[in-house]
Structure 1
Amino acid sequence: MECSDKKNLYVARYAVRDLIPYIDWMYFFHAWGFPPKLAAVANIHGCDACRASWLAGLEPEERGRGASAMQLYKEAVRMLDMLDADYGVNCEFRLFSANSDGDDILVEGTRIPMLRQQIPGSDGYCLCLSDFIRPVASGIEDGIGVFATAVDAEMELLYENDDYRRMLVQTLADRLAEACAEKLHECVRKSLWGYAEDEDFTPAELLACKYTGIRPAVGYPCLPDISLNFILDELLDFSRIGISLTENGMMRPHASVSGFVISHPKSRYFSVGAIDDEQLRDYSARRGVKPEEMKRFLASILR
């Protein structure tokens, strides 16, 4: 690992074996078309008796797929062992002073517009990520973290002539990038930012988001605008950990994650959902981009 105190910057490289406890196997199995309940195969003991007991506990019509999930998991573990010998996962994090101004987050000298829900949630509120940052009018400085993670690019080039193994590596690489974000977030809460120094959760509790704060990632429901990656790149310099951006803001390697770390104790994940033309125009103006250009980044959420 490498840590730099310059501008609160932290850079680290994790071994694959150190990230395995942080893998969310449910999403791995989802990528292979298995229902969520079969991801439990990753939690059973490796002995024959335990495997047989787990299979017997499934409905008769599920046991065939259960056996397939069990075999896939065994092959995934073997592949992780192989990847651990030659590859790793890189990450970077930087802590900034921040405040909110309406639906914008002010990150030191950078104004980052956010989108707001237009359909109230169960609590009656239309949420925006800026709601979880102290308003600039309060006169009290808040903070926000910016992070990125990426697997070694060479990992995604393995088995180009073997479709099965190539998909196995890619789906594992995606999980490793997310697992690295999970482990990094834990490190941020307990030491780098230190707003939850006494936290003590198991990996399962971490994956269930029992901790304080959130880690909204670009491209996910809280942050659907992929073009925000261009702003985060300016703040972090993605190239430091081997990430490059396409003209559409997509990250390369594909198995990369970027986003924010927010410490507010009441912050939570939500989906922005569909937005109308009025918010599109307002958001585009705040981004300094024409609405027609912004549409290509927000097409999936436009009414």
Structure 2
Amino acid sequence: MVGPEALELGVIAGYLNKNALFRGQWGFRRGERDRAEYEAELERLAEPLLRDLLEQALTEGTLQPAVVYGYWPVAADKNDLIVFDPQTGAERFRFAFPRQAGGRHLCISDFFRARYAEPLGQESLFIPPLAWENGARDVLGAQVVTMGRVASEVAARMFAHSEYQQYLYWHGFSVEMAEALAEYWHKRMRQQLEIAGDDATDLRGLFQQGYQGSRYSFGYPACPRLEDQQHLQALLHWSEIGVELSEEYQLHPEQSTSAIVVHHPAAKYFNL
């Protein structure tokens, strides 16, 4: 677990997708205007608002970032990804991923080595011995990040008091800060996996998957089964940072997001 004391909001804000925040969340649209006019409006209105909200969060503690993450031994079995217990080596569960009906016929399990595959080199050093004996041949990362319950409570108070404009700005900001934390921590995990050498050097490149591997969240096309969040919950014990899973398999507080981290160079987003 990584708590607020080890996570700086200023650093996290450096991974904020301003296009998603300004256009998608706050509704600053270019429309028929030329780019210079639109960018001038963002500089005059949106940028000061962002700075004020970040300063508010810093001084009032209304964003409390936290992360739980880890790595588990795995192996592919056709469309399934088997997750093994690191201590006992036993199979814990399987993710059943869908496969494309056409095109390249991709499936997330394709990005992992098959069970009992022949060793390529030193990969056994990264997989616990009992799991290796039971067929584990690869490593899966997983993470959950949150901006904390206070962020949701602030949004709820604004809405209850009919402060709809402030609610819109705060809600969008806090949700996108959670996404920024997910982006930042994915980079930290790539560094730990020693695959960050080819990372894009600018935010635009990172947002366009300018790095090795991919971060997949359940509910999206390549892994649509929201109920698989239960498996992540079992792995990450995310109640330690105040995150809960609803009956509809949604994360609470809303300013939270989870994902599996795949390190294979060919792993990118794809549709079914």
Q: TM (normalized to structure 2)?
A: 0.79
Equivalent residues in 2 for 1:149-164, closer than 5 Å = 149-158=145-154, 159-160=158-159, 161=161, 162-164=163-165
Q: What is the letter of the counterpart of residue 260 of structure 2?
A: F
What is the Cα deviation at residue 217 of structure 1?
Answer: 1.2
Q: What is the letter of the counterpart of residue 128 of structure 1?
A: C
Task: Give me the whole-angstrom Cα distance separating, in 2, the residues matched to 1:254 and 1:74.
Answer: 25
What is the Cα deviation at residue 195 of structure 1?
Answer: 3.2
Aligned residues: 238
Instruction: List gaps (5 residues or longer) in structure 1.
Output: 1-9, 39-57, 273-303
Q: What is the letter of the counterpart of residue 204 of structure 1?
A: R
What is the Cα deviation at residue 63 of structure 1?
Answer: 4.0
Task: Give me the whole-angstrom Cα distance separating, in 1, the residues matched to 2:153 and 2:45.
Answer: 24
SS at match of 1:88: coil
Task: Give me the whole-angstrom Cα distance separating, in 2, the residues matched to 1:198 and 1:83.
Answer: 33
What is the Cα deviation at residue 231 of structure 1?
Answer: 1.1
Equivalent residues in 2 for 1:221-232, closer than 5 Å = 221-232=221-232
Matched, 1:185 2:164: no
Deviations 1:185-215 (A, max 9, x none): 1111112x23335757333332232111101
Question: 2:215, 2:261 within 8 Å by CA — same for their partners in 1?
Answer: yes
Task: Give me the whole-angstrom Cα distance separating, in 1, the residues matched to 2:38 and 2:150.
Answer: 35
Q: TM (normalized to structure 1)?
A: 0.71
Task: Give me the whole-angstrom Cα distance separating, in 1, the residues matched to 2:231 and 2:251.
Answer: 13
Instruction: List gaps (5 residues or longer) in structure 2.
Output: 85-91, 120-136
Distance 1:271 1:34, change over 3 A: farther
Question: 2:198, 2:211 within 8 Å by CA — same for their partners in 1?
Answer: no
Q: What is the letter of the counterpart of residue 171 of structure 1?
A: G
Equivalent residues in 2 for 1:47-86, closer than 5 Å = 58-59=33-34, 63=37, 67=41, 70-85=44-59, 86=61
Identical positions, percent: 23
Q: What is the letter of the counterpart of residue 73 of structure 1?
A: E
SS at match of 1:215: strand
Q: What is the letter of the counterpart of residue 115 of structure 1?
A: P
The residue number in structure 1 matching 2:201 is 201
Q: What is the letter of the counterpart of residue 268 of structure 2?
A: R
Aligned with 1:125 (options 84, 104, 112): 104
Task: Give me the whole-angstrom Cα distance separating, in 2, the residues matched to 1:63 and 1:215.
Answer: 35
Deviations 1:33-83 (A, max 9, x none): 344x69xxxxxxxxxxxxxxxxxxx529x9479626741332122111111
Taking only aligned residues, the RMSD between alpha carbons, in angstroms, comes to 2.5
Equivalent residues in 2 for 1:279-294, closer than 5 Å = none
What is the Cα deviation at residue 27 of structure 1?
Answer: 1.2
What is the Cα deviation at residue 171 of structure 1?
Answer: 0.6
Equivalent residues in 2 for 1:265-276, closer than 5 Å = 265-272=265-272
The residue number in structure 1 matching 2:139 is 143
What is the Cα deviation at residue 252 of structure 1?
Answer: 0.4
The residue number in structure 1 matching 2:94 is 111
